Structure 1
Amino acid sequence: MHTQTPFIHNHQLNTIKKQANFLLKTLRSVADRNVLDTVRDTAVAKAMEAFDGLTSEQKQLLEQMGRNEEAQEIQNYLDSLEPYLVPFPEVTANQAQKLFPKAKKLKLPDLERLDYAHMTYLRWIDTATNRLYIVYRHEDRWIGVEGRITSTNKKGFCMFCNRHQELGFFNVKLKGSSPDNFSSVGQYVCMDDEACNHSMTDPSALEKFLLSVGK
């Protein structure tokens, strides 16, 4: 590939990793070449399904996954994709504060040290107040959602990433027709900010929720 134009978003990289792990498990457990060839083709096809409008060069890059034989080769391949990642847009403290105007003492993570390349959405928990803050970029506008998160001390499927994780109950208040009229909506989501982003293969459930409750 001649140019390293970023085209892989975090959730797409996670899809590729999922298929690469599937391929690796098969390589370790199956000797039949016909079965292996089928699995290779399936893994590559499923990785490509995460994308729209791939160029021939981008297709070639994804097809390379199916040619690996060893665990180290697969890891080297995944590492080689890093230059093609489209990072989550960096957020400034001023932008974050504007999204949560009611939070007078908003405690922010170290925004300059975040791993934006491996992020579908920005989230952090203020442990002093048990509040989860979410920042998402949708069609050139920022969405900010906050609510109380309560650990369930149980594992289950996160509503956002659909992976089996340690869950918390995220409760978001919605504005009603009058100042005193509040309703709320709740979802079971990951307690671990990083784990959720590293497990995300389809952002549609996250996006649908944030658009329904966000400002």
Structure 2
Amino acid sequence: MEFLSVANERFITTQVTKLLNARTASKDKDVIAAVKGLIETELAAQLPDRPETEQIIRQLLEVEDRTHADLFLHALKAYVIPFTYPQAEVVKKLFKKEKRLRLPKLDAYDWKSVTYLSWKDSGTHRQYFVTRQDEDWKTLQGVTQSDTVKGICRICRHHTLVNLFTATVKGKAEDAFTSYSHYICEDPAVCNANLDNEEQIFSFIEENLKRN
């Protein structure tokens, strides 16, 4: 039964890595037990409150090595809810003011690896975001600079290659517009791979929408 979000799976993966790192760094049973306790607390706080979640946590805490971890994470995919992506015609309606909208190849995505949809138009340097929250589509668009630097992504909060994303929104006053900028991952696929809390993409889009 699918009940985990893609971000939930990412979070579980980070906890597996934390456990493996602890096992590599120390053979002290008390240290390993303390790390397990922390992992269990963090997972219980972030994952859905279901009997299946308790089983997943138990299985994770039994992971001994990388081979065991890979098998566990492979089996975990069966519980992941794929991103409910919009069809091409829906995307066009979401960005109806974009008369020459260039869409990505939607059938090329692994939707069990995507928390949000984002793509760039290399010709216009525009970047588009689509996500789904509480059964509603949320969108954002702006312009990205081509130059990249190493920094912290505003969305996934990881240190990686980023570029400056700037959006311009209409203010409350007539003919008033405000531009705002954030450094975000150069590659949306990398950002999705790093994102272990879907509230971070929701807050990124919502924060910018509130400026309208």
Task: Answer whether TM exceeds 0.5 for this pair.
Answer: yes
Work out which of the residue numbers 87, 98, 101 in structure 2 matches 1:103.
98
Contact 2:47 2:53 survives alignment (8 Å): no
Question: What is the rounded CA distance, in whole Å, between the counterparts of 1:181 and 1:57 in structure 2?
Answer: 51
Residue 106 of structure 1, CA deviation: 1.0
Work out which of the residue numbers 133, 146, 159 in structure 1 matches 2:154.
159
Q: Which amino acid aligns with 1:153?
A: T
Residue 90 of structure 1, CA deviation: 2.1
Question: Which residue of structure 2 aligns with residue 132 of structure 1?
Answer: 127
Question: What is the rounded CA distance, in whole Å, between the counterparts of 2:197 and 2:207 in structure 1?
Answer: 17
Question: Which residue of structure 1 aligns with residue 145 of structure 2?
Answer: 150
Residue 37 of structure 1, CA deviation: 2.1
Identity across the alignment (%): 28
Question: Which residue of structure 2 aligns with residue 56 of structure 1?
Answer: 51
- Where 1:123 maps in the other structure, the secondary structure is strand
- Where 1:134 maps in the other structure, the secondary structure is strand
Question: Which residue of structure 1 aligns with residue 25 of structure 2?
Answer: 29
Question: What is the rounded CA distance, in whole Å, between the counterparts of 2:98 and 2:156 in structure 1?
Answer: 27
Q: Which amino acid aligns with 1:190?
A: C
Question: What is the rounded CA distance, in whole Å, between the counterparts of 2:172 and 2:18 in structure 1?
Answer: 50
Question: What is the rounded CA distance, in whole Å, between the counterparts of 1:70 and 1:209 in structure 2?
Answer: 36
Question: What is the rounded CA distance, in whole Å, between the counterparts of 2:51 and 2:207 in structure 1?
Answer: 37
Question: Which residue of structure 1 aligns with residue 70 of structure 2?
Answer: 75
Q: Which amino acid aligns with 1:113?
A: A
Work out which of the residue numbers 136, 144, 148 in structure 2 matches 1:141.
136
Contact 1:135 1:145 survives alignment (8 Å): yes
Residue 179 of structure 1, CA deviation: 5.8
Question: Which residue of structure 2 aligns with residue 43 of structure 1?
Answer: 39
Contact 1:19 1:44 survives alignment (8 Å): no
Question: What is the rounded CA distance, in whole Å, between the counterparts of 1:179 and 1:88 in structure 2?
Answer: 37
Residue 178 of structure 1, CA deviation: 5.5
Cα 1:179–1:101 change in 2 (3 A) is farther
Contact 1:151 1:167 survives alignment (8 Å): no
Question: Which residue of structure 1 aligns with residue 164 of structure 2?
Answer: 169
Residue 163 of structure 1, CA deviation: 0.5
Question: What is the rounded CA distance, in whole Å, between the counterparts of 2:2 and 2:167 in structure 1?
Answer: 35
**TM-score, with length taken from structure 2:** 0.92
Contact 2:156 2:195 survives alignment (8 Å): yes
Cα 1:99–1:179 change in 2 (3 A) is farther
Q: Which amino acid aligns with 1:189?
A: I
Q: Which amino acid aligns with 1:107?
A: R
Residue 111 of structure 1, CA deviation: 0.7
Question: What is the rounded CA distance, in whole Å, between the counterparts of 2:73 and 2:26 in structure 1?
Answer: 22
Give the number of aligned pairs: 210
Unaligned runs of 5+ in 2: none
Question: What is the rounded CA distance, in whole Å, between the counterparts of 2:52 and 2:6 in structure 1?
Answer: 20
Residue 29 of structure 1, CA deviation: 2.1
Question: Which residue of structure 2 aligns with residue 16 of structure 1?
Answer: 12
- Where 2:165 maps in the other structure, the secondary structure is strand
CA offsets 1:33-81 (integer angstroms, 9 cap, x no match): 22122222322322222124x2223211222101111110011101110
Q: Which amino acid aligns with 1:18?
A: T
